[in-house]
Chain A
Amino acid sequence: MSAVRSSAQARGRDGPLLAVQDLHTWFELRQWGFLRVGSVRAVDGVDFELARGEAVAFVGESGCGKSSLARTLLGLHKPTRGEVVFNGTRVADLRGKDMQWYRASVGYVQQDPYGALPPFMDVRRILSEPLIVHGISSRVERERRIRQVLDEVRLSPAETILDKFPHMLSGGQQQRVVIARALVLEPSMIIADEPVSMLDASVRVEILNLLRRIQTERELTLAFITHDLSTVRHFADRIFVMYAGRIVEQAPVDELLAHPQHPYTQSLLAAIADVDAANARQQREVPGGEPPSLLHPPPGCRFHPRCPHAIAGVCEVDDPPQFEPRRGHRSACWLHR
């Protein structure tokens, strides 16, 4: 249990752990510090629910808003509109101790393990920091928890690692320390933003397996943000595909990979081939153009300028709602109408 006990903890044990409703995170662009010249709509109307103990993946290209979504969930950005409801409590209403409880409840694993660790602190200090911030003043207690969590991320014996500085560790070890830091406050949810994209291929699987094992053992909710569809299959239960600030398709992993519904998802899958010598002799089908500007997104469906199946008079006019073309499989595309 977290060190900070609060009333918010008691509520809402039954519903989803995290519910996001109509979430918008816009960044205002200002000229000379005050003149508003527009907004970057990084997250632009996102709804979803995450159950306890579920592992989901948010997949999308850079600039699709997946990292902004992660930061909004972590409380690092204020939502422009909409709600994040955690454990039945609106995060926007949390103050003081309740907010600290929320921060302890959501762990954060970042992309660049070296950058994620302060270079001037040793591992003991790095892992002590969250505990100190959350009022655990007993050195003995901190040491106990640090050793426990190091053991959990398989960095043992702890003695060999505690006094090291980040630059003395390998990339994989660094990422384990980052994961240990996310776990040390005993969160109920972990948000991992591209946790392996900076690591070598041989280490990636190891880190992903570790995350998956901890997620199962601790019954954590894991939100796994990635641009790499091929790693998702084994490490998530559900996939959300994001494009230009919105979720365009969501489904269980196998369902989505087997029957992609949205034209964007289809083109993403077409661009990724499993390793094969024949790949070198094939041209991949790639939709033309580039993702739209989030400052001036196109009207209607945001994928319509690149979509091979765009329906004139429909797609560029109205926003597609979430259709459910197959059971448990939702896709925001007018083709399903």
Chain B
Amino acid sequence: MAQKTLLSVEGLELQYQTRRGVARAVDGVSFDILANEALVVLGESGCGKSSLAKALLRVLPRNVHRFSGKVMLGDTDIMALSEEAFRRDVQWTRIAMVMQAAMNALNPVVRVGEQVAEPLRVHMGWSRARAMERVARTFEQVGVSTDFLQRYPFELSGGMRQRVVLAMALVTEPELVILDEPTSALDVLTQAGIMNVLKRIKQEQGTSFMLITHDVATSSEIADRVALMYAGQVVEVADAQDFFHAPAHPYSQMLMASVPRLRQREEPAHIPGQPPDLIDLPSGCRFADRCPSRFGRCAEDPEPIRLARRHHVRCWLHAGRSGGGGA
């Protein structure tokens, strides 16, 4: 498949000023997403994965200390755009986002149909009638009956609300949809239903997805590729097949081993220790403290090492295996 690159991120940094010091939430992250590809950003809480999503969509808190890097959307350098231009030409229309717990953030006094139509009417200036027609179509795509257009959020179950939020992100037919933990508060069957919707939309409309989650099992439901984050960095990025079945980074390996499996006998194993504090990061490899395979070189900060096409890992164990160095 020779798909063209939709989003390319290089050396993205996002730092927050806190009382205790500067927190390096996103620290030199590079990856790309092809057209019609689903990238899963996997990571434990506090690894910076939500900050990454916020950085891409520029929904930032006020205490940003540093925000830099290069983000290309198609041929547009979106980091170079002004706030105004970014809001007008990128947000919603080209990149849409479903925030964490967005289903609980729906406006309780506005009918859901109107809320979903909002991006169309505000960002694209559509007439009400035209917008509602598109909303109805999107509702069908995400599996919500058009009877619900006139309902209020509290009249809907959690699963339905999550589908409505999804519809809101999809209604403008963006090229890329960023989903932050879209199913983490939902039940197994609801979760499966929503993942079904995402798969179908990806297949039918060619949309790209960036899904942020801490749950390995959920990630496998959509991932073409996986980027694993640890302490603000992407430690491994690989095709789903490689990542799930032959992960290269010790952290990836241990994470995969910690996933309980329903149909296999072996017992899951835990990862001892805790991730480092983003404000007081250790020098060298950030996983070294917890890593069973650490050796002398781990005191140096590892660079992304290329293992195969589009498979990079930040670990000295792989240095020299295929030339090493360079992103």
Contact = CB atoms under 8 A, between A and B. Distances in A.
Do any beta carbons of A and B sit within 8 angstroms of each other in the complex? yes
Nearest to B193: A286
B64 interface: no
B32 interface: no
A282 B195 CA distance: 10
Contacts of A275: 216-217, 219-220, 244, 256, 259, 261
A200 B44 contact: yes
Given A205-B270, A230-B217, A280 B223 contact: yes
| Centre residue among A201, A283, A284 by max chain B CB count within 10 A | A201
Interface in A262-307: 267-269, 271-277, 279-284, 286-287, 290
B189 A271 contact: yes
Interface in B201-240: 214-217, 219-224, 239-240
Interface string A225-245: 001111101100000000000
A268 B262 CA distance: 12
Given A286-B189, A287-B189, A277 B245 contact: yes
Interface string B269-302: 1111010000000000000000000000000000
Contact of B188 (A201, A271, A281): A271
B159 interface: yes
A234 B260 CA distance: 8
A204 interface: yes
A206 interface: yes
B189 A267 contact: yes
A75 B57 CA distance: 49
Given A62-B187, A204-B270, A231-B260, A272 B193 contact: no
Contacts of B245: 276-277
B38 interface: yes
Given A205-B268, A233-B260, A273-B221, A170 B216 contact: no
B79 interface: no
A202 B190 CA distance: 24
Nearest to A269: B262
Interface residues of B, number: 51
Contacts of A282: 199
B254 A202 contact: yes
| Centre residue among B222, B224, B240 by max chain A CB count within 10 A | B240
A61 interface: yes
Interface in A22-66: 61-62
Contacts of B44: 200-202
B278 to A, nearest CB: 14
A228 B268 CA distance: 15
A277 B195 contact: no
| Centre residue among B38, B195, B219, B224 by max chain A CB count within 10 A | B195
B309 interface: no
Contacts of A170: 274
A203 interface: yes
Interface string B122-162: 00000000000000000000000000000000000111100
Contacts of B224: 280
B192 interface: yes
B18 interface: no
A231 B267 CA distance: 10
A231 B270 CA distance: 13
B258 A283 contact: no
B191 interface: yes
Nearest to B263: A274
Nearest to B157: A290
B222 A280 contact: yes
A228 B188 CA distance: 8
Contact of A201 (B243, B255, B261): B255
Given A170-B274, A280-B240, A201 B192 contact: no
A233 B262 CA distance: 7
Nearest to B198: A280
Given A229-B262, A280-B222, A201 B196 contact: no
A209 B274 contact: no
B261 to A, nearest CB: 5
B200 interface: yes
A8 interface: no
A171 B274 CA distance: 10
Contacts of A287: 189
A21 B270 CA distance: 38
A274 B261 CA distance: 6
B264 interface: yes
B45 interface: yes
Nearest to A172: B274
A136 interface: no
B110 to A, nearest CB: 23
Nearest to B269: A205
Contacts of A172: 274
| Centre residue among A209, A274, A280 by max chain B CB count within 10 A | A280
7 closest Cβ pairs, A-B complex: A206-B270, A271-B192, A202-B271, A61-B187, A277-B240, A205-B270, A200-B44
Interface of A: 61-62, 170-172, 200-206, 209, 227-231, 233-234, 257, 267-269, 271-277, 279-284, 286-287, 290
18 contacts: A61-B189, A171-B45, A201-B258, A202-B254, A202-B255, A202-B258, A203-B271, A205-B258, A205-B270, A229-B188, A230-B262, A234-B260, A234-B268, A257-B262, A267-B189, A269-B262, A279-B221, A280-B222
